[in-house]
């Protein structure tokens, strides 16, 4: 089975998770399956929490390698500028020797170089963390929608995904506020469905009962039969 097909399955199952992380997970799955059915079965057993942890662990290892590369870069810069940090002697900081850079300048150069080299990485880490948080929040929301109709559930999740694409919630408090509002909406929606169900029950064909427990339709029928019997009793042949 093609790797991109497994990636597509993962993206469908876990929207919002960073694609480079899903690519790594897809490579692991690809080593264990031969058919689409097998891949679908494995993906179906994964949880958002497990996927987020896998991606975070993979990112952690990648970050360690990048930190190592940055350390090497820093050491090379120090060697290039022949810089060795020394403690100042008593009486103040001695002037920098001619032809060399002072410690503050070199440190600033190193800091800026490292910052520039890791700019893209920091962005990736931030995006990865955000994707993991979004996946966990979506899973929490799905649990709250377990007993609502599928159409209503799909609409709420669609709105959540739209918010996530626009940047998500400002913080955990903002999400909790949204979750509380959603719970209230679900409760109100359920009550509305229950009320509609009761109002749709048909009334008895012969009407509601009177104070004696006899419905108006039955009472009218009895009176008509009584009148009919009375008329027959007064009839007969003329003399």
> What integer is the mean pLDDT of 222-235?
62
Is the per-residue pLDDT at 85 higher than 90?
A: no
> What integer is the mean pLDDT of 86-101?
55
Is the per-residue pLDDT at 201 higher than 80?
A: no
Q: What are phi and psi of 167, to 5 degrees?
A: 125, -10
> What integer is the mean pLDDT of 78-88?
63
Report the pLDDT value the prediction gives residue 184, as an integer from 0 to 100: 92
Residue of 129 and 84 predicted with greater confidence: 129
> What integer is the mean pLDDT of 131-139?
87
> What integer is the mean pLDDT of 94-107?
61
Average pLDDT over the chain, rounded to an integer: 76
Report the pLDDT value the prediction gives residue 129, as an integer from 0 to 100: 73
Q: What is the pTM of this model?
A: 0.37
Percent of the chain with pLDDT over 70: 67
Report the pLDDT value the prediction gives residue 163, as an integer from 0 to 100: 87
Q: Where are the domains of the chain?
A: 145-200
What's the distance, Cα to Cα, between the start and end of the chain in Å? 107
Contact (CB, 8 A) for 37 and 2: no
Lowest pLDDT segment from 59-73, 90-104, 130-144, 189-203 = 90-104
SS (H, E, C) the chain: CCHHHHHHHHHHHCCCCCHHHHHHHHHHHHCCCCCHHHHHHHHHHCCHHHHHHHHHHHHHHHHHHHHHHHHHHHHHHHHHCCCCCCCCCCCCCCCCCCCCCCHHHHHHHHHHHHHHHCHHHHHHHHHHHHHHHHHHHHHHHHHHCCCCCHHHHHHHHHHHHHHHHCCCCCCHHHHHHHHHHHHHHHHHHHHHHHHHHHHCCCCCCCCCECCCCCEHHHHHHHHHHHHHHHHHHCCCCCC
């Amino acid at each position: 089975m093609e790797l991109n097909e497994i990636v597509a399955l993962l993206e469908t199952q876990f929207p919002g998770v960073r694609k480079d992380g899903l690519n790594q997970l897809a490579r692991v799955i690809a080593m264990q399956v031969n058919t689409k059915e097998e891949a679908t079965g494995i993906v179906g057993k994964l949880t958002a929490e497990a996927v987020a942890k896998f991606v975070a662990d993979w990112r952690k290892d990648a970050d360690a390698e990048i930190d190592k590369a940055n350390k090497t870069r820093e050491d090379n810069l120090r060697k290039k500028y022949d810089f060795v940090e020394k403690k100042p002697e008593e009486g103040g900081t001695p002037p920098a020797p001619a032809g060399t850079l002072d410690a503050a300048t070199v440190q600033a150069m190193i800091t800026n170089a490292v910052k520039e080299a890791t700019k893209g990485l920091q962005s990736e880490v931030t995006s990865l963390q955000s994707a993991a948080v979004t996946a966990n929040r979506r899973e929490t929301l799905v649990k709250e929608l377990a007993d609502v109709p599928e159409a209503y559930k799909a609409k709420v999740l669609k709105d959540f995904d739209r918010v996530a694409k626009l940047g998500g919630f400002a913080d955990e408090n903002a999400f909790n506020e949204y979750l509380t509002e959603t719970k209230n909406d679900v409760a109100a929606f359920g009550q509305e469905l229950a009320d509609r169900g009761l109002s749709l029950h048909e009334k008895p064909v012969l009407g509601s009962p009177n104070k004696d427990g006899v419905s108006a339709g039955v009472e009218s029928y009895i009176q008509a039969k009584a009148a009919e019997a009375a008329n027959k009793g007064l009839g007969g042949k003329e003399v």
